[in-house]
Structure 1
Amino acid sequence: MLKDKKIAVYLCGGIAVYKTADLVRQLIKKGAQVKVAMTQSAVQFITPYTFQILTKQPVYTEIFDKEDKESVSHIHLADWADAALVVPATANIIAKMANGMADDFVSTALLATTAPIFIVPAMNTHMLENPATVRNMETLKKDGRMLMEPDTGFLAEGYEGKGRMPEPEKIIEMLQLHLIRLDSSLALTGRKVLISAGGTKERIDPVRYITNDSSGKMGYQLAEVARDAGAEVTLVSASGLPNPFGVSVVAVESAEDMFVEMNKHYQESDIVIMAAAVSDYKPDHQEKQKMKKTSSNQEMTLKMKQTKDILAYLGKHKQHQYLAGFAAETHDVARYAESKLQKKKADMIIANDVSNPQAGFNKDTNEVTIFTTDKDPISVSVRSKKEVAALILDEIAGKLRKQR
């Protein structure tokens, strides 16, 4: 999302400015072009030469640059940027921005900036909560500026409180997410996407359960790709993977839990993808206490019953939704997938052979065949699950464009 984006980073004079060298480095690793401007207070904490080395660009510190004879430096930087990032945003720069003051390079360039401005406040708790600062931040929000919530933790003053600068990774996630939301040209902008992921667990007793080998990686990649395509994504997950930023994650355990949550979000969704490996059976009875063996050679019989078929239920109650499901098979993949497409009333079935060592459960790669109701199957050779997810969502987005 940040590849080839021009990001102007405005550094202010707070102790947290020491973190910004890593922030700038990570922005560059993401493919962004970065230029840095610093207040005189920021220069007291960290040298401009650090950022000149990192960005391979001159660092702006003076409003009157005698060496730049071809342009007005603060206007040039403001016009150059696709986005501006103010970090750490002190009470001083927040007050200046809220009141239109321009008395140094940073405040003057920001006043001239028409690109999106993202502000990362970082200061002492009492300064942050001062009515003047609160009022200034509200003014900036009304002006259309995006303010990130500061973290709570150990402050430079030696006590716990709110006002810490978030870690660079969180700042970059925030920046990416809001740039996505501002881009109306993305393929899934305005769409609500509902995805299931992971292998459900069916409890035998409080310490034992029946499950499968699904890691949830395919569903999570679908969620991230849909997010990056502009969609509002809800992920119903039976996986323990870390939550993707910008995605609403609903944690579940059993097939019944997943049925309830998928049904809860179904009506408001435009695209629904059942990527989870849902247990087909569950114990007929769940013991409330841990089951004990009574003798060394006694056998145990576990009586099972079917779980709800979530995909079939969603297909039966489909209205405007585009419904896709996965078929994890070990043989006769095409036959089972085509049958599932019809029986479940789905619009798409993505089939894969989970006996393939490069595809299926708990792998980083996948090989699938995409079956739809209106065209020949599409074979997708072995590639990363992210690439597979992108192909699936491109196909769905194309179908929806035709419907429009």
Structure 2
Amino acid sequence: MSELMKKVREHAKIQGIDNVNIAAHIGTTPTSITYYFDGTNHMNFSKFIRMIHYIYKSEYDDLIIEYCEYCNHFPRAKKAQAVREALDWSMGRWNSELTQHLLDLEKEYSPKTYEIYNLLFLSREGKISLKEFFRKVHYLPYNLKTSDQKNPEVQVLIDLCNMYYCHFREDFEGIYYLSEFTFEKIDKIKSEFLRYSYTICVNEMLSVYYLRSNKIKECKSSADKLIQDDVKALFPFTYLYGLYLMSEIYVFTNYQTSLYYINMAISEIEKMQFTHYKRKYDGMKKQKDFIKIVNEDYEDLCLEDKAERLHYLAMLGDDQSKEEANKVLESIIEERKELTPFETCYKAILNKDLKLMIRAEEMFMVGKDFYYIKLARKFIKEWGGIKESNKIN
């Protein structure tokens, strides 16, 4: 028995978890679990990660490094697959030390997949500019060996990079049209875990297109796939995004449901002890403020985000709030020189400026955001500017 499996089995016993429980959770038999623990059979990554999540719940990233050492006893091809699966999983954990360790291992087995994952990692860490990232992505297909050209995993990774490029350029239709071919390539991948991971990733990207295109039924279908228990266990950040997305879906139609999902997302990120991922955590608190302000509930707001503070003060509308709002607005303009469509909406609310609100509507349209354009249109309708808006459009 390996030291890793001995450690996991002993921890399971302490937790009162037996082989029958583990087998039921990861979809195998108690006998197979016995064989995995005593070293008769090798446990693949998909089963291993589900098992340790079930037994440890959280704080088990160090076990992945030990798992890669455990894989030294695998045939080379199986070890290479296990390392790639672990690397792909780690990209969703935002554990830089773990991902770097797995990247070093991946480089030994596949320089091309290492290159692509490393690009994604450097972009995530802010160690490469978006311009440089997309320049390298553009040239990836031109530098492939014949074997890599036929490798569906390489093809899918390049497609995913191109989807990120589409997202950055707000070319949401580009994501949609590329996804059809990407799903075909995913079907050709041998690894069950990677097929599942890449499918979830494409669905996450598609949800952006569906929401911005105001295709709510399709967006809800994508979101439902992202908030399953198995996604929560394997890809916690994707699960959190799914909850966030559900809060977006209901923001204009069902306040309590929207609030329920964003509260759940905030609660989960705190329980998962991921609050040190400040940008994501702050983004959730900002979204909660947005939901509450849109629905004119001004109790228990956070207001750490300048834009949502402007939103709140503009909605209050009294002289003191207007004075403070103008100071916030000046600060935003000083930082970025120009306003986003949302901030333009808030400025229009502040001054009850119909023409500026119609300008905000145009900005949403130019950005092909046919969902959040509802925010501008809500006030255009309230202020009696429907005919004027239609004339401009």
What is the TM-score of this pair, normalised by structure 2?
A: 0.30
Structure possessing the higher radius of gyration over alpha carbons: 1
The higher-RCO structure (CA 8 Å, 6+ apart) is: 1
Q: Which has the higher helix share?
A: 2
